[in-house]
Amino acid sequence: MSNEISLKLKSYNNVLSKKIMKDVCNIFAGGTPSTENKSYWNGHINWIPSGLVQDCVIDEKNVKTKITNKGLLNSSAKMIKPDSALLAITGATCGKSGYLPFSACANQSVMAFEPYTYSAKYIYYLFQKNKNKILKFQAGGAQAGLNKESCENLTFLFHEETEQKQIAEFLSNVDSLLEEKKKELEKTKQFKQTMLSKMFPLGNSKVPEIRFNGFNDNWNEEIYGNIFEKINNNSYSRDLLNYKSGTSKSIHYGDILIKFGFTVDVNHKQVPFINQEVKISTSDKVNILKSGDVVFADTAEDTTAGKAIEIINNNNTPTFAGLHTFASRPLKYFEIGFLGICFNTSQFHDQLIPFMQGTKVTGFNYDSLCKTLVRYPNNKEQKKIVEFFETLNKNINNLENEIVNLEHLKSTLLNKMFA
């Protein structure tokens, strides 16, 4: 391994020195007071489970469990100094690290690293860069993990102490921006859910709580079965679909539940092709989906069954409703995009829940869908609603792309700033 790195901070020579962790830090595992003794719990001392160690700075607000001084003294738990690094050593988070800015103790699945002179936050980032290397030291069977000896004997190449602080500060700034974007994304998604509720009528109301200026009329109400006609679906499983090539496509229920938003552009790469060996009969052509058609996932593991999409921009590739879906075509004109929004509101979806049946999987039938009540405004108001949610969705997509780019930047920096 070279003692040089590819990305250098100004004014540093970037020659690294090899160190063993037991020479750099005071290292110890946490512990858990007896859960049978109530006097050990609900105290004032922060107690961190390994589930909070998620390659992140530990936020004290997220520490929900506290122990008493009596619990600390009568267990293997130990106080960890502020400005320490943490490493999850067992379970689902094994190999993930954390930076601890406040005093706390932790459970036995967390190893604490209290640096003697080195930067704790630098070590926290060093662990992130070397996660795969660290995991190679796991031992044990079904519940493999790291032990104190393996943690003490971990060896890494370290920068000079002054440069450690510069690197840690630089990466912290990237993390802060990343966290800011994630919070903004979550806030925007919550706002979207709020507006979905408030911009569509609740209960027996004929109008929504929030409307655009100039719209005062009551919304229309019609039974689904009276304004939609059924489009037959196919039953092609995943092994009959591909994402490379074909002359026709199929909307799979799993994609509706997980991948797709309110609308689906069938020209998008996320919509799979039907394998060439599958023969589509001439009679099936009447079931080709058009822009404005809606497709529901009729089955799921829970009440997310009933999630719907609206087809848009289907001008080129014949596309069909696939396995475990119900497809319908409106018998009257709706603004493109409106039905995809309308059918994903809780006001509409909650009508389907009483009809859902099943134990391992949950589903409903098309007759039940036909009994639901559809509320909709005039087309001008529909268009305003579509434009509003299109803008929100663009904002969400932009934030998601910014987060992906920042995560890629951080990964690149970790790889280039550490040996």
| pLDDT for res 281 | 73
- On whether residue 4 sits in a domain, the answer given is no
Residues 365 and 382 in one domain: no
Does 305 lie in the same domain as 267? yes
Q: What are phi and psi of 357, to 5 degrees?
A: -135, 160
Is residue 1 very low, low, confident or very high in pLDDT (cuts 50, 70, 90)?
A: very low
- Summarize the confidence of residues 101-121 as an average pLDDT: 98
Locate tokens 């719907």: which residue?
Answer: 308
Q: Which of 300, 288, 289, 299 is nearest to 340 (CA)?
A: 289
Task: For residue 418, give the nearest of 31, 132, 76 by alpha carbon.
Answer: 132
Indicate whether 125 belongs to any domain: yes
Do 369 and 230 share a structural domain?
A: yes
> Cα separation of 352 and 371, whole Å?
9
Which residue is listed with tokens 């869908």?
369
pTM of the model: 0.85
Residues 317 and 397 in one domain: no
* Residue 92 covered by a domain: yes
Same domain, 369 and 227: yes
Give the separation between CA 220 and CA 20, rounded to whole angstroms: 72
Nearest Cα residue to 198 out of 362, 6, 393, 341: 341
Polymer length of the chain: 419
3-class SS of residue 7: coil
Q: Beta-carbon neighbour count of residue 248 at 10 Å? A: 18
- Is residue 84's pLDDT more than 80? yes
| Residues 190 and 312 occupy one common structural domain | no
For residue 2, the model assigns a pLDDT of 44
Q: Is the pLDDT of residue 5 over 70?
A: no
pLDDT 10s digits, 379-400: 999 999 999 999 999 999 999 9
Alpha-carbon Rg of the chain, whole angstroms?
Answer: 28
Which of these, 126, 117, 79, lies nearest to 100 by C-alpha position? 79
Answer yes or no: is pLDDT of 11 > 60.
no
380 CB contacts (<8 Å, ≥6 apart)? 215
Among residues 281, 255, 284, the alpha carbon closest in space to that of 269 is found at 255
334 plus 405 within the same structural domain: no
Place of tokens 């069954």: 305
Checking DSSP bridges between strand 319-321 and strand 273-274, what pairing results, if any?
unpaired
On whether both 201 and 259 belong to a single domain, the answer is: no
**Are 77 and 173 part of one and the same domain?**
no
Please report whether residue 230 resides in a domain.
yes
Question: What would the pLDDT profile of 41-55 be if each residue is shown by its tens digit?
Answer: 999 999 999 999 999
Indicate whether 306 and 390 sit together in one domain: no
pLDDT tens digit string along 250-281?
999 999 999 999 999 988 888 999 999 998 87
Residues 116 and 254 in one domain: no
Residue labelled with tokens 């660290």: 134
Residues 32 and 130 in one domain: yes
Do residues 300 and 257 make contact, with C-beta atoms less than 8 angstroms apart? yes
CATH of the domain at 387: 1.10.287.1120
pLDDT above 90: percentage of residues in the chain: 88
Collapsing DSSP to helix, strand or coil, 310 comes out as strand
Whole-number average pLDDT of the chain: 93
139 DSSP assignment: B
Residue with tokens 């719990």: 41
> Tokens 């020209």 identify what position?
267
Count of domains observed in the chain: 3
**DSSP run (H or E) holding 375:** strand 373-376
Domain enclosing residue 35, as ranges: 17-158
The answer to whether 219 and 244 are in contact (CB under 8 A) is no
**Cβ–Cβ < 8 Å for 360, 373:** no
Helices then strands, counting H and E runs in the chain, come out as 12, 23
Q: How far is CA 259 from the centre of its chain?
A: 12
Q: Which two tokens stand for residue 20?
A: 């063993």
